C-alpha cells in the first residue's frame, strides 16, 4: 500500500538503532495485514527522550517500541503503565490513544511464547538458571515466577549484590511460591548450579533443566565472548535459551551444543514480543509466521 495522507506511523526508538531487525519484521507484518501503516526506526539520544515522546503525542504516532537504553527512563513520560511493566520496571511498547500514552512490556509474552513454541518446552523444568540481573533478566524472572510453575530460580550475575537484590524482590513478588537465589557468575558456581552432584560426586537430577542468558555477552561484535566459558558445565538434559539473536549461534550456544545440550537463540523472543506489540497497536492478530520469516532471512 502506498504512503498517502492517511498512513498510520508506528516505530521503534533506541540508541543506536541502525541494526534493529524490528522495522523489517513489522513492515512485513503490516504488508501481510494489508493495512496502510509504516514502521520506522528513530534514533533517539538519551537527552532527547522526553522531546521524542512529546513528538509522539504531537505527531499522533500510533505506537512505539522502546529499546536499549530507554526502557526504564521512558516510564516517567507516560500517562499509564501496565502492572506488569511497572513490576518489571521497564516498558518496551507504547500505545498512543488520543494523546494518552500507555506503556506495556511485551517481553514477558515474548520469552514465554519462545520457550513454549520455539524451544517446544511445553512444561518448564523445576529449576531454571538465569544469567544476568539487568532489565532483560528482570522481565524473564517476572515471567517465570508469575505465569509458570517453575519452583527454583537461580540468578547468576557478575555483580553479586545485584543478583541478590533482584532475587529478594522477585521472591517477595512471587509470594514465596518460587524460591529465588542470587549468586555470582563464576565458573564454580555455574557448574554447581547446572550440574548438581550428590554424595560421592555423582550427578543427580536436581540440577537446572533450563538456562537462559539475559546478558549481552557474546552479542555482535563481541562474538568470541561468552558468559560461561567452561563447556563442562553443560549436559544433555539441559536446554539453553540465549536471548541474543545476532549472531544466530553464539559462542555460549556452541559450548552447550558441544555437550549435547539443546540450544536456541533469541529470534523467537524477538518475534513474539513484536507480534504482541503489533496486536496492542492494531487490535488484530499478528501474522507470526510472516514476522519470523522476515527476521530469519
Per CB under 6 A, residues contacting ligand ATR are 68, 132-137, 157-159, 162, 185, 214-217, 227
Active-site hit among 71, 127, 183, 276: 71
Q: DSSP letter at 139?
A: H
Minimum CB–partner distance for residue 225 and ligand ATR (Å):
7
Minimum CB–partner distance for residue 136 and ligand ATR (Å):
4
* Integer Cα distance of 55 and 49 in angstroms: 10
* Nearest-CB residue for ligand ATR: 134
| Calculated CA dihedral for residues 11, 17, 19, 22, nearest 10 degrees | -20
Q: What are the two backbone dihedrals, phi and then psi, of residue 157, each rounded to the nearest 5 degrees?
A: -140, 150
Q: Smaller CB distance to ligand ATR: residue 25 or 141?
A: 141
From 200, 255, 218, 250, select the one nearest 233 (Cα to Cα).
255
Q: Smaller CB distance to ligand ATR: residue 55 or 134?
A: 134
Read off the C-alpha cell for 199.
554424595
Q: Smaller CB distance to ligand ATR: residue 102 or 157?
A: 157
From 236, 273, 277, select the one nearest 256 (Cα to Cα).
236
* Integer Cα distance of 202 and 197 in angstroms: 5
Read off the C-alpha cell for 242.
540465549
Minimum CB–partner distance for residue 141 and ligand ATR (Å):
11
User: Mind giving me the DSSP string for 51-101?
Assistant: HHHHHHHHHT--EEEE-TT-TTGGGGG-SEE-HHHHHHT---EEEEETTEE
Minimum CB–partner distance for residue 216 and ligand ATR (Å):
6
Q: Smaller CB distance to ligand ATR: residue 221 or 283?
A: 221
Q: Smaller CB distance to ligand ATR: residue 133 or 278?
A: 133
* C-alpha 242: how far from chain center: 10
Respond yes or no: is residue 71 known to be catalytic.
Answer: yes
Minimum CB–partner distance for residue 203 and ligand ATR (Å):
26
* Integer Cα distance of 41 and 14 in angstroms: 8
Active-site annotation, residues: 71
Amino acid at each position: 500500500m502506498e504512503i498517502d495522507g492517511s498512513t498510520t506511523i508506528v516505530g521503534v526508538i533506541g540508541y543506536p538503532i541502525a541494526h534493529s531487525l524490528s522495522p523489517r519484521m513489522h513492515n512485513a507484518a503490516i504488508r501481510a495485514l494489508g493495512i496502510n501503516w509504516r514502521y520506522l526506526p528513530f534514533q533517539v539520544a538519551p537527552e532527547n527522550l522526553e522531546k521524542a515522546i512529546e513528538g509522539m503525542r504531537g505527531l499522533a504516532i500510533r505506537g512505539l517500541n522502546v529499546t536499549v537504553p530507554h526502557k526504564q527512563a521512558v516510564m516517567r513520560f507516560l500517562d499509564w503503565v501496565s502492572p506488569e511493566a511497572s513490576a518489571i520496571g521497564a516498558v518496551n511498547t507504547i500505545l498512543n490513544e488520543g494523546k494518552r500514552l500507555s506503556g506495556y512490556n511485551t517481553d514477558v509474552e515474548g520469552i514465554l511464547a519462545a520457550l513454549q513454541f520455539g524451544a517446544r518446552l511445553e512444561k518448564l523444568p523445576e529449576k531454571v538458571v538465569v544469567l544476568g540481573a539487568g532489565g532483560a533478566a528482570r522481565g524473564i524472572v517476572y515471567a517465570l515466577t508469575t505465569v509458570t510453575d517453575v519452583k527454583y530460580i537461580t540468578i547468576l550475575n557478575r555483580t553479586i549484590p545485584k543478583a541478590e537484590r533482584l532475587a529478594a524482590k522477585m521472591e517477595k513478588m512471587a509470594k514465596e511460591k518460587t524460591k529465588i537465589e542470587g549468586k555470582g557468575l563464576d565458573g564454580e558456581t555455574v557448574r554447581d548450579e547446572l550440574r548438581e552432584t550428590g554424595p560421592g560426586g555423582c550427578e543427580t537430577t536436581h540440577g537446572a533443566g533450563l538456562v537462559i542468558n539475559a546478558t549481552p555477552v557474546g552479542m555482535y561484535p563481541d562474538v568470541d565472548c561468552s558468559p560461561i566459558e567452561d563447556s563442562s558445565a553443560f549436559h544433555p538434559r539441559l536446554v539453553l535459551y540465549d536471548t541474543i539473536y545476532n549472531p544466530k549461534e553464539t559462542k555460549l550456544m556452541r559450548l552447550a551444543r558441544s555437550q549435547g545440550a539443546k540450544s536456541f537463540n533469541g529470534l523467537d523472543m524477538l518475534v513474539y514480543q513484536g507480534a504482541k506489540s503489533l496486536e496492542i497497536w492494531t487490535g488484530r492478530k499478528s501474522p507470526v509466521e510472516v514476522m519470523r520469516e522476515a527476521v530469519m532471512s
